[in-house]
């Protein structure tokens, strides 16, 4: 299992240590490193994150304030040099609490606990889920249109709207890529860039930082390249 992970910490030294640990751990896909809460909140508006290493004691916007303002609450590991914040961490149902200075064995235990939590949640969802429909409705210009999911090539962000590119035509809808990728979680779609969600079955070829669907060249964000390659069947 691979966890899309973000670091939010105003300390450069702490970020560098956590970045090193994340790159060392096979279960972590580090997609963002933010030096303050505002940047972290902005990133959460655009991207789906599984795990955040969040500093409790940041200037202007604390870790607690960050969670109160966050559009969603992924699993959180609070990081701080002061043990007094441990109580606050668990009041917010934090996944874990990591005390500075960090060491890798303790970091690895945090990751393993996060994986166990996600696996349990996935099992519950599978138990309660019903078979996924092979179609969906989109709203365009006041009417609801049924689309076969297999006909969708990719989604492209355009300001406050998303263009849905299908095999025979395209549609413009008022939505966000974040909301769309959550709706298609059980289908073979993946976000590979802040502006694109793609149908993995429609990829023609892949180069270093781009891929092709039909005749469209689509960029691959560096943060998503590793996760993309893991989902493809490579010989």
What is the reported pTM? 0.59
Would you say the CATH fold of 135-231 matches that of 3-128?
no
Q: DSSP labels for the chain?
A: --EEEEEE-S-HHHHHHHHHHHHH-TTEEEEEEESSHHHHHHHHHHS--SEEEEES--SSS-HHHHHHH-SS--EEEEEES-GGGHHHHHHTT-SEEEESSP-HHHHHHHHHHHHHHHHHHHHHHHHH--PPPSEEEEEETTEEEEEEGGGEEEEEEETTEEEEEESS-EEEEE--HHHHHHHTTTTTEEEEETTEEEEGGGEEEE-SSEEEETTEEEE--HHHHHHHHHHS---
pLDDT at 227: 82
Residue pair 218/197 in contact by the 8 Å Cβ criterion:
no
What's domain 135-231's superfamily in CATH? LytTr DNA-binding domain (2.40.50.1020)
Sign of CA dihedral 16, 113, 73, 63: negative
pLDDT at 129: 40
pLDDT at 216: 94
Domain boundaries, the chain: 3-128, 135-231
- Give the CATH class of 3-128: alpha beta
How far is 229 from 211, CA to CA, in rounded Å?
Answer: 12
Per-residue pLDDT of the chain (235 residues; tens, 9 = 90+): 889 999 999 999 999 999 999 999 999 999 999 998 899 988 887 788 899 999 988 888 888 788 778 767 788 899 887 766 666 665 666 778 888 889 999 999 999 999 998 887 766 555 434 345 688 888 887 788 899 999 999 999 987 789 999 998 999 998 888 888 888 877 889 999 989 999 999 999 998 889 999 989 999 988 788 788 888 877 6
């Amino acid at each position: 299992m691979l966890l899309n992970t973000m670091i939010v910490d105003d300390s450069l030294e702490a970020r560098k240590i956590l970045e090193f640990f994340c790159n060392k751990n096979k279960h972590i896909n580090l997609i963002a490193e933010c030096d303050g809460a505002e940047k972290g909140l902005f990133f959460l508006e655009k991207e789906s994150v599984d795990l955040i290493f969040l500093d409790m004691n940041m200037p202007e916007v604390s870790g607690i304030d960050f969670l109160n303002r966050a559009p969603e609450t992924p699993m959180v590991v609070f990081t701080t040099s002061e043990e007094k914040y441990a109580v606050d961490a668990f009041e917010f149902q934090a996944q874990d609490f990591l005390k500075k200075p960090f060491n890798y064995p303790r970091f690895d235990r945090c990751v393993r606990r996060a994986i166990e939590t996600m696996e349990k949640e996935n099992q519950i969802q599978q138990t309660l889920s019903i078979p996924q429909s092979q179609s969906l409705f989109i709203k365009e210009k006041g009417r609801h249109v049924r689309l076969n999911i297999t006909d969708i090539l990719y989604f492209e962000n355009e300001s406050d709207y998303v263009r849905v590119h299908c095999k025979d035509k395209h549609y413009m809808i008022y939505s966000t890529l974040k909301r769309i990728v959550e709706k298609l979680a059980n289908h073979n779609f993946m976000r590979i860039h802040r502006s694109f969600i793609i149908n993995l079955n429609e990829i023609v070829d892949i180069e270093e930082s781009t891929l092709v669907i039909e005749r469209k060249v689509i960029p691959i964000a560096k943060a998503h390249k590793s996760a993309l390659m893991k989902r493809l069947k490579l010989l």
